[in-house]
A and B are shown apart, each in its own frame.
Chain A
Amino acid sequence: MTIMAKRISCAVIACFMSAVASAHHSFAAEFLGDQTIKIEGTVSEIWFKNPHVRYYIEVPSDDGTSTTWDVRTSSPTILVRRGWNRDTIAEGDRVIVEGYLGRDGRKLLSLISIELPDGTVLHHSY
């Protein structure tokens, strides 16, 4: 199986098996539970490790600059059990992310869903 085929296969599994997770520290300390936003950008770095998986997303601005968003999900083992592994999303992927907004104007998102380049949408719920 090619890497791309493996990625698509995993993504399809995850599409049907949304990740339902339990945090092991308070997301409420960092995120607003009643405010969600969507961002569109390019995955610049992946942290597929504990304490939480992070995707760093470069979001371009109209003035030619870009902003890096720190998008958090769950722990690797919880994601992997649901078919979402370190190859599911790759650096360079163009993605659309919906998430809970970080507090104090910080560029943080707690991931609710992510749309991959092939149109697959992965969900992460609590």
Chain B
Amino acid sequence: MIKTISLLTLAFLTLSAHANPALEGDWMIEMKPSGAPIIGLLQLERDGDNWKGFVEGGPVPVTVNGDRVDILIDTRDLRGFIFFMRLDGELNDGKLAGTFTIESEAKVNASDGTWTATRYIEEVRSKEPDPVDLSGIWSPAPGRDFRKYVMDLTPAAEAWHADYLMHYDQPNVRCVSPGITAMVAWGAYPFEILESEDKLTFIYEFDSEVRRIFLDGREPPEFYPNSGMGFSTGHWEGSELIVETTLLSQNTRDFRGEPISEQARLEEVYTLSEDGQSMTAVITLHDPDNYRRPPIRRRAWTRKPETEIYPNECDPDSFYRQMYNEGLLDMYFERSRRRF
């Protein structure tokens, strides 16, 4: 499987002599498995006879033949097992449509289905603030996110990642905060939004983390420390909440262990549904030190006022105990330079 991923990282250039140039460009793709739909940004680019494909900012192998396109998207299930969605489709009347099948060595909870893609049109938001009421308790809803596994890393990030040791090097296995980038994208836990005049306060169940999103345009205090949650400001564009977070500490983006630098900027766009009962977010990580294209995640939540936010503390004893029992503590501490 690791070999497959390495090949995938290297082999997203595909030659096609009879490709329809109308396939080139940005598309919004929607996957329809048996469960909740998944949506994302598909980018098809041509360089002479070579085609490149990207989904949510990460490379994918693409084969183009006339109006037909074949795409292999790498993803992971909720446990971290890697699998692939193989898409076969055709351009017709300016739209792409086809079927996809799941390819996996592990038993994963995923189904075959159909897919469509329409031209991506950048949203033009009103600059006039029209705030909506996001306050309340939100529970994760399924679907939406591709969980694209491999992103378009810079050479420096590739070099860093080449020495990444799964499990042992992931900060939150030893109860360090996974950071806001991962916390927003991971979907297992509820959170609460409290509104006040100059800020929104997000109280996450995961790790009992608290985050303040300042709405008054303030700058961070001098020497404000970098941290997993960073420093967040927000503003309304129409009824959408735009949140920008900087001053992040170094961390990893997702299970693969791709890095996040202290210079990264996280952008989140929150949208409330018409009935006010569901909320979605598009989460984009801008970190040119590590990514040539910004990785994108998408999440959805349902308003659940009856849900309690539970305390959520973490004790790393079992992590160290396992290494002690297996004689791996020396190995772990010899890699301390890898710890952020």
User: Does B167 lie within 8 Å of A25, measured CB to CB?
Assistant: yes
Is residue A120 within 8 Å, beta carbon to beta carbon, of the partner chain?
no
Q: How large is the interface on B (under 10, 10 to 19, 20 to 34, 35 or more residues)?
A: 35 or more
User: Does B78 lie within 8 Å of A22, measured CB to CB?
Assistant: yes
Q: Which of chain A's residues has its CB closest to B175's CB?
A: A51
**Residues of A with C-beta under 8 A to B175:** 50-51
- The majority secondary structure among interface residues of chain B is loop
**Residues of B with C-beta under 8 A to A44:** none
User: A81 to chain B: closest CB distance in Å?
Assistant: 8
User: Does B310 lie within 8 Å of A80, measured CB to CB?
Assistant: yes
User: Which residue of the partner chain, among B109, B310, B314, contacts A125 with CB atoms under 8 Å?
Assistant: B109
Is residue A29 within 8 Å, beta carbon to beta carbon, of the partner chain?
yes
Type the 1/0 row for B61-83, where 1 means its CB is closer than 8 Å to any CB of A: 00000000000000011111110
User: Does A50 lie within 8 Å of B312, measured CB to CB?
Assistant: yes
Is residue B315 within 8 Å, beta carbon to beta carbon, of the partner chain?
yes
User: Does A23 lie within 8 Å of B178, measured CB to CB?
Assistant: no
List A30-51 residues whose CB lies under 8 Å from chain B. Answer: 30-34, 47, 49-51
Q: What number of residue pairs across chains A and B have CB atoms under 8 A from each other?
A: 95
User: Which residue of the partner chain, among A21, A33, A75, A81, contacts B81 with CB atoms under 8 Å?
Assistant: A33
Type the 1/0 row for A51-79, where 1 means its CB is closer than 8 Å to any CB of B: 11010000000000000001000010110
Docked pose: A19 CA to B106 CA in angstroms: 20
Docked pose: A47 CA to B108 CA in angstroms: 27
User: Does B79 lie within 8 Å of A33, measured CB to CB?
Assistant: yes
Type the 1/0 row for B102-121, where 1 means its CB is closer than 8 Å to any CB of A: 00011111000000000000
User: Does A49 lie within 8 Å of B313, measured CB to CB?
Assistant: yes
User: Does A77 lie within 8 Å of B205, measured CB to CB?
Assistant: yes
- Greatest chain A CB density within 10 A among B140, B166, B186, B318 is at B318
User: Does B166 lie within 8 Å of A22, measured CB to CB?
Assistant: no
User: B234 to chain A: closest CB distance in Å?
Assistant: 25
Docked pose: A23 CA to B76 CA in angstroms: 11
User: Does A49 lie within 8 Å of B315, measured CB to CB?
Assistant: yes
**Residues of A with C-beta under 8 A to B107:** 33-34
List B154-193 residues whose CB lies under 8 Å from chain A. Answer: 166-167, 170, 172-173, 175, 178, 182, 186-189
User: Does B188 lie within 8 Å of A26, measured CB to CB?
Assistant: no
Chain B interface residues toward A at CB < 8 A: 76-82, 105-109, 140, 166-167, 170, 172-173, 175, 178, 182, 186-189, 205-206, 255-256, 310, 312-316, 318-319, 322, 326
